[in-house]
Amino acid sequence: MGLTAYEMKKIFCIPALWFFFVLSLLFNILLIFGQGYERDYFDQVRAWAEESGFSAGEENNVFAGYHTEKLAAFYSDIVKESPVAVRWVERKYALLQPRAKHLAESGAALDFYAGDATQESHQFLFGSLMRAILAEGSVCAMLVVLYLIGYERMNRTIGQVCASRTGRKLWGSKLAAALLSAVMLYFLLAGGTLLVYFQMWDFRGAWQDSVSSRFNYLTDMLYTRPFFTWHDFTVGTYLAAVLLLGAALVVVSGLMAAVCAMVFYNVYGAALVLALVLFGGVGLESLFSQCRAWGLYFITTLQPASAWLSVNVWFTESGICTFLPWQETISAGVNLMAGSIMVVISLRRFVRRDIV
């Protein structure tokens, strides 16, 4: 623990890191202030609901009698070139039908949330703002991992440190310190950003409302449907779940950076390879969709970058972005496991290889 704490001290003493942190926070605050009109409308609608004692009748229950076969037919027609993809789509929406029935019975659609301002405010908070926070947290994780893993080489002390097996085992402490620091910085950035956001947007009466309110909806490929979720989420629990899953993806980013840093001697080369892997994966996903190679497209949606792009629809059926229920959670778990295995292999290889 002493070594890990010492390595963490190195990280938190980097001026450039805090410069990046402050720039990220300022960027997020600018995003928030850029929503002035939407914020005023949100507050007005919430105030009206509290004054009028809003209540919705059962006729407003958008989930009552909803059949997910319509969604299955729509997406099956899109991916019809791939029989495997068609089966995946049909299976996903068959599993969604019991959720539609449950949401209808629970009355989730009758919650007010933010009325006519719901969809836009929800997409800004859980789309634009959370996407920015997650990107900044992931970049921060990759930077601190690359910095610590390459610290000895950059300072020309790697020969002395790696002269013994004990010295080489220091890299395990470096990685633990970098990942722990990255998660702390992610939550600090998210906390600072959301503190400003909720000071300006009055959510006091909305925390216990369902995110599957009839005022919330998802549009994918110009097809609009209710906001189906795989679990009953209030606004508060949905925010907590998104933040926790975001932390897992930050760790995944750090693990990817660690593998690249230990495989390649040069820190800058490792950063370049890491960027190519991330952006190349997104490019492949786009290429497979354009070529209508839907089986390969669905497989590429399991990569971390794809989960980041679809953060605004996490824990929902997500349309064409996913082929499994809870795919973003499964993707994070699979990538955490794969990253951990690759890191262990890389560490063992590093302990045995010639550093000179």
- How many structural domains does the chain have? 1
Q: How confident is the model at residue 79 (pLDDT cuts 50, 70, 90)?
A: very high
Q: What percent of the chain has pLDDT over 70?
A: 89
Residue 314: which of 252, 253, 250, 240 has the closest Cα? 240
321 pLDDT higher than 80:
yes
User: pLDDT tens digits for 211-265?
Assistant: 999 999 999 988 999 999 999 999 999 999 999 999 999 999 999 998 888 887 7
Strands 217-220 and 223-226: antiparallel
Q: How confident is the model at residue 156 (pLDDT cuts 50, 70, 90)?
A: low
Whether 245 maps to a domain, the answer reads yes
Whether 61 maps to a domain, the answer reads no
Whether 62 maps to a domain, the answer reads no
Whether 216 maps to a domain, the answer reads yes
Q: Average pLDDT of the chain?
A: 87
Whether 75 maps to a domain, the answer reads yes
Whether 215 maps to a domain, the answer reads yes
Whether 157 maps to a domain, the answer reads yes
User: pLDDT tens digits for 1-51?
Assistant: 577 787 788 888 888 899 999 999 999 999 999 888 888 888 888 777 767
Which domain covers residue 228, as residue numbers? 2-54+67-352
**Residues comprising the chain, all counted:** 356
CB 321 within 8 A of CB 127: no
Q: At what angle do helices 130-149 and 235-263 cross, to 10 degrees?
A: 30
Whether 111 maps to a domain, the answer reads yes
User: pLDDT tens digits for 87-112?
Assistant: 999 999 999 999 999 999 998 888 88
SS (H, E, C) 146-191: HHHHCHHHHCCCHHHHCCCHHHHCHHHHHHHHHHHHHHHHHHHHHH
Q: Which phi and psi angles does 218 have, rounded to 5°?
A: -125, 130
